[in-house]
Amino acid sequence: MTEDGLKKIILDIIHDIAPDEDLSDVDPAVRLRDQLDLDSMDFLDIVMELRKRYKVEVPEEDYMELSTLNGCVSYLMPKFQEKGIEASASA
Amino acid sequence: MRASPPLSRVVLTGVGLTSPNGNDLGSFRHALLEGVSGVVPFETRHMGAVIAGVCDFDERKHQSRKARRRGTRAGSIAIYCAHEALNAAGADLAQVDPSRVGVYVGTTEHGNVETEQEIASLREYDDDTRYWSHHHNPRTVANNPAGEVTINLGITGPHYCIGAACAAGNVGIIQAVQQLQLGVVDLALGGGVSESIHTFGIFASFRSEGALGHHEDPTRASRPFDKARNGIVVSEGGCLYVLERLEDALTRNAPILAEVVGYAVNSDAHDFVLPLAERQAQCMRAALRVADLEPGDVDIVSTHATSTPQGDVQEARALKEVFGASARTRINNTKSFIGHTMGAAGALELAGNLPSFSDHKIHPTINVDDPDPDCWIDSMVVGTPQSAERIDTILNNSFGMLGINSCVIVRRWTSDAA
């Protein structure tokens, strides 16, 4: 699993949750909520989709780790590697 | 005891609707005059092929994809109808105090569609409730469709849904009238919606009751007052009106569709599902009293009849009792075209008749190939529209389970009636 591959997985989930958003220019260092129209229910959707699609759990105390795209990659990479997920973003 | 001041007169100044045979009043009316049905083959979970009245309005016209994904079909229908009604009324919310706008949406039921969907999804995850959506509660709360309208339009006045079984469309209008007369709001959106075709349960339950309509040609399945009728055709739909106090509507030169001059709601206190002619007749007479009208003053009675063997007979008995001596009154039915739009039915069926005030036509009941003598009334308009020199008054019936009956009476608006 590459960092770019994981970013694409995250952006694909966000695209499904917020289909009206333009995701072509997301700054990975900036809080997602500061550049996209996302609220707390949307973040719960991200957590739910990670669970449904990849069986990856994000405990509530770690939700803040998902605030930026870079944060998502840093936090989720070990979890994806632990599960041996190398699937493409369309998984 | 202090005398009550006279109640304000309330008028309908706009209507937004989606029906299985039209997504605005003009196309809906055209379909009703041309005999166009909106009933089609439909697939539902667990049961497979059924028939239903299905709407094809553009969900994206007034709603983002994200909002649609988060919300419900009923919410989407309500949002579409609310926007269309406000546009038709020429009502600009930017010019109105949003805290003085109320949203009153009648529903037969709400939450079954969303709950059923969640349960089906949960099956894919071995019934592990960690996969149950956090959206379930906001989607299934009973005020959902009305609340979605307020979020979409930035309305900060009261909103709620009125659960009134299949009388809900009428009762949504009545609630709006009352809130305007009480001075709670200055502008109201009132009517009803239904998303019921998206739950298999409603089809299965009607089938278990022996009350699910069927015919090899879906367009001919809903046939109130016909001897071969065999049950209800389930449909989705929505219809919301803009309602205002007469003086406010006149001040802003609003288009006035009709004045709501009378209404009544009562209860059979009799049975969970079986209707009762005696109480329906009492409801119609109560609405006439409020309107200070006699049965002979009514030009059109828009019937509730749902194409069930027993229900249609009960309503026909009530109609004969109240309107049997009225030479002026004509009787029609909209469900014969579009099936039963449940929470929307009362509001939609009234809407389809409103253009009679200007086109002087009475739309028919279709699919009455062999009139049932047990519910036949000579004043029924069947097959093709009838013309009338003048139409001033419409009484709209809408009844529901647990024995709820409702009637709304509207009058043609003329400036000399001010």
* Structural domains of chain A, ranges and CATH numbers in brackets: 3-82 (1.10.1200.10)
| Nearest alpha-carbon partner for B341 in B124, B202, B194 | B194
Beta bridge partners of B408: B263, B396
B184 contacts: CB under 8 Å, gap ≥ 6: B102, B157, B158
pLDDT in tens, chain B (418 residues): 677 778 999 999 999 999 999 999 999 999 999 999 999 999 999 999 999 999 999 999 999 999 999 999 999 999 999 999 999 999 999 999 999 999 999 999 999 999 999 999 999 999 999 999 999 999 999 999 999 999 999 999 999 999 999 999 999 999 999 999 999 999 999 999 999 999 999 999 999 999 999 999 999 999 999 999 999 999 999 999 999 999 999 999 999 999 999 999 999 999 999 999 999 999 999 999 999 999 999 999 999 999 999 999 999 999 999 999 999 999 999 999 999 999 999 999 999 999 999 999 999 999 999 999 999 999 999 999 999 999 999 999 999 999 999 999 999 998 876 6
For residue A54, the chain B residues in CB contact (below 8 A) are: none
User: A19 touching B, CB under 8 A?
Assistant: yes
Token pair, residue B96, equals 């109105």
- The span from the CA of B186 to the CA of B21, in Å, is 32
Half-sphere exposure of B146 (CA within 13 A, CB side): 28
Residue B244's beta-bridge partner residues?
A: B11, B187
**Residue B182 contacts A where some CB pair is shorter than 8 Å:** no
Task: Quote ipTM for the complex.
Answer: 0.92
Nearest CA in chain A to B133: A48
Q: How far is CA B43 from CA A49, B52, B54, B59, B107, in A?
A: 28, 9, 11, 20, 23
- From CA B121, how far away is CA B325, in angstroms rounded? 56
**Whose CA is closest to B388, among B328, B334, B333?**
B328
Domains of chain B: 10-251 (3.40.47.10), 262-417 (3.40.47.10)
Which residue is it, tokens 């209800």?
A: B232
> How would you classify residue B23: left for phi > 0, otherwise alpha for psi between -120 and 50, otherwise beta?
alpha
Test B69 with A41 for CB contact under 8 angstroms. no
Question: Is the pTM above the cut of 0.90?
Answer: yes
